[in-house]
Chains A and B, each alone.
Chain A
């Protein structure tokens, strides 16, 4: 299934990369663990199994068993893996965070969170609550703040998320690839209305959007 926004696409492929490494590594480790347990399990759970304890199984024995090489090897393997994962993370981040400030086509919208709802203010001063209408295939730059408490603005389907903090301003951007309705929701507990602090993102074909908003290019001049 195609992702509805470039940010979500990047996120999904990064996620799959992490899932793959996590599953492979934990599967190997858990398999070794399972093997040891089954292999070395004594048939009876009684103490008197006749076996002899090794001499270093004793209070006050120097901890001599084992070698640090295993730990070093593991650290190197994990370290290398993390170098790879981090590099992908940073390049994804670069894309997701690089606000297209100077892109002349970008549409700048102010987002104000409040208990409990979302208010959107367009460049022409038009202000609506509970609904964000944007044209598809246009970079949208959001200036996010809060009027009262800490909220978190998110479009889950696009993997866009940013905290709305009183007295501070945060930036986020996205671009919708497909027209449709998406859910904007708050992701930080902000009081009794938190669960219902939802707005609708309406991604529209450019013509429809202009019919609702007016000519974009003129407004921005």
Chain B
């Protein structure tokens, strides 16, 4: 067992780190790298568009470049850049020593990197990568119209990214809800932490909802199902599912940047945010509304006219909460003492550009105007103003703002201001004229001179070069600062009164708070030692500060009287597991040998990870002494599982919705949906259901047993749950085999497709559950659980119940009606 004092090799540290600050820096470097890649792609196709009749990129390269640009900017750049800051500063802002689950945090990063590499590698697959635009409309996305293997690889890469996100989301939820410092109420947090929490809720329900159509798409492309070619599913099935994810996604992109802008405006005008409570309400309302506006992307699809009007109105409504937020930001400056530093200027830029983008958004909400705007460069202008103008500009403000905190060194203000000037000029020359091209279709690689679009496009391309060059200044400034920047103290900006990160050294030590546990009292921030806190302090409201004493979260941590004694903060498994996952994805498209290697590495790393736990080799003291509202009574591990499962609801829900849609459509397309019992035997289905229910009962009994410290009961329950679960999986396997033998395969018809995909995904969940039981059993036999310590068993019981619950719907839909 390595110890903290014999320093490991730096490469090992970066590969195996689980510290939130290191992970944050990894996210930062990677997302900036992808920003450059996707930006250069944009420059290539901007070159192609600069003049009529241009020959620079061929149609196919153009389409691939646009697709990769869009997908990378949306999925691999903006949110991960925000995640870099979230990882670095949010644990500090809330007053924690690290994330709730440090290894899962590292896993999120490595899966993210792996998914990005898989996505980039798809470029070099024969025939190139996805070329259907980031929206991936059906049926252009099917093999029939886009046969290149790179397209399937891109689908898998996105799925890998989504899995990274759901892990990160559960982790952030538990961290922000349960690891806050004593006295740190949610409403005391800076906007960045609050908006990030809201963003996590959006991610929680939006990203799995995107996984559902992607799984169907990959099934179509790899297994031969017919979701997006059959008349019952097809274009509209994809459209609804994509945009159901797609609109929340745009708020996922802008909220973190806007939040940083708000914090920075407050810090640099030295005033409390104006009407912070109203801002919090407004952002929650906007988040809620974002789930009921997606049809504004489908106004031209000939949807029900009533629905069009409803979504017209909901879309307009959404500009009200954003208007309120912007107004509060502006009023924050009132009577402030403004210091126009580089972060401040970028925050200001974010607000200005977002207001312009919001104004053009109101146009898009109008069903009548959308007749003109849909599919044109107007839309491209609009969303770059909001996402890049509002979101990315805010994130750049954050980069400057936290740079001294992360590196301990200051950058050059002069270069920063120069960057800002060129950035704003370039931005507006680049994107504003796009609004004038409201007749020019987007995603065209070619236009002729008679269109008259040439001159404006030339201006836009010039703007893109100016805008891109501003980033060179940014990078020069940062690299220079790393080497020659003047060293800074804890609080170079005077933010110590605003948020916690300015009350710790720059860069902060491994566990963030060298002076003790931060405690928020009526008088402000004080630092206490853990044992002082246990004696009890009261908050402003007079209620007890903490309800529990220090609770180990990682199966056995130590908080000693003199503060910190830690196990190694390193684990190799997140890194290795991601390699396995990436190889598996590539293998799914490029053949069995790679696939097998991938699966072997994947399983080996899960075993290694589990072994680390069973032996309790990895532990980090992340005690939670403070605020946990509203989850005081749910421990970290079960709470993480709950959030994961809320996300799972958003995965299975759209799958069931797809079932409903294709089945209802079959009445109009003339497809005869199989009668009950015709294909799937009701009796066998009912038997499987009973066995699975019994397995669920066994798991619950196992939990009850260990709560009473009954070791035999625990083992017996887990073993029974395992055997019964396995039985269900075997029965299902036999059913599949039998159907296949009869010639009823993935692609037979739409009913077969949805049956195989839903039962297949459910089966994968069963399999995962069985693996978890093996781990629990191993640990149980080593005596790893007792009446006080059994959160792993608890989390599993919750998971297993969910798997049973999903089956309770699967059974009637396929076997009974």
Contact = CB atoms under 8 A, between A and B. Distances in A.
Direct contact of A and B (CB under 8 A): yes
Contact of A59 (B146, B274, B499): B499
Given A59-B499, A167-B231, A194-B444, A33 B352 contact: yes
A125 interface: no
Interface stretch (A10-18, A102-110, A208-216): A10-18
Contact of B272 (A36, A42, A61): A61
A216 B593 CA distance: 67
Given A189-B133, A192-B63, A57 B371 contact: no
B369 A167 contact: no
Given A59-B499, A65-B272, A162-B302, A167 B145 contact: no
A65 B139 contact: no
A204 B135 CA distance: 38
B443 A194 contact: yes
A18 B520 contact: no
A166 B669 CA distance: 12
Which of the four size classes fits the interface of chain B? 35 or more
A22 B362 contact: yes
Contacts of A70: 274-275, 327-328, 331
B133 A90 contact: no
B441 A185 contact: yes
Given A57-B498, A97-B305, A161 B323 contact: no
Given A47-B494, A71-B328, A148 B372 contact: no
Contacts of A66: 273-276, 278, 328, 331
A25 interface: yes
Nearest to B336: A40
A192 B359 contact: no
Interface residues of A, number: 89
B188 A168 contact: no
Contact of B183 (A47, A60, A93, A189): A60
A30 interface: yes
A179 interface: no
Contacts of B439: 156-157
A166 B60 contact: no
A149 B139 contact: yes
A165 interface: yes
Interface string B260-278: 0000000001111111111
A1 interface: no
Contacts of A185: 441
A92 B367 CA distance: 9
Nearest to B134: A189
Interface string B281-321: 01000000000000000001110010011001100110110
A168 B362 CA distance: 29
Interface in B334-391: 334-341, 348, 351-352, 355-356, 359-360, 362-363, 366-369, 371-372, 374-376
A3 B751 CA distance: 50
Contact of A36 (B146, B273, B317, B330): B330
B500 interface: yes
A13 B627 CA distance: 56
Contacts of B498: 57, 59
Contacts of B140: 149-150, 189-191
Given A71-B282, A78-B320, A93-B368, A45 B340 contact: yes
B301 A163 contact: yes
B137 interface: yes
B337 A29 contact: no
A32 B236 CA distance: 44
Contact of B235 (A15, A40, A71, A150): A150
A202 B476 CA distance: 56
A63 to B, nearest CB: 4
Interface string A71-99: 10011001100100110011011001100
A187 B443 CA distance: 9
Given A22-B363, A78-B320, A196-B446, A160 B235 contact: no
A45 B341 contact: yes
A185 B497 CA distance: 58
Contacts of B367: 89-90, 93
B445 interface: yes
A29 B366 contact: no
Contacts of A126: none
Tell which of B277, B317, B371, B413 has the most Cβ of chain A within 10 Å.
B371
B323 A41 contact: no
Contact of B301 (A59, A71, A165): A165
Nearest to B330: A33
Interface in B763-780: none
Given A71-B328, A96-B368, A187-B375, A30 B188 contact: no
A88 to B, nearest CB: 8
A187 to B, nearest CB: 3
A150 B138 contact: yes
Given A40-B338, A68-B278, A15 B312 contact: no
Given A191-B140, A192-B60, A74 B324 contact: yes
A188 B375 contact: yes
Contacts of A163: 300-302
B369 A89 contact: yes
B447 interface: yes
Contacts of A53: 270, 497
Nearest to A157: B439
14 contacts: A25-B359, A42-B337, A45-B340, A57-B497, A62-B187, A65-B275, A70-B327, A85-B362, A150-B138, A161-B375, A162-B300, A165-B234, A187-B375, A187-B376
Given A78-B320, A90-B368, A166-B139, 19 more contacts: A10-B368, A22-B359, A36-B333, A49-B337, A66-B274, A71-B324, A75-B320, A78-B323, A86-B316, A96-B368, A96-B371, A97-B305, A154-B375, A161-B374, A162-B300, A165-B302, A189-B140, A194-B443, A195-B59
List the 6 shortest-distance A-B pairs measured between CB atoms, nearest first: A66-B275, A187-B375, A63-B276, A195-B444, A60-B520, A167-B231
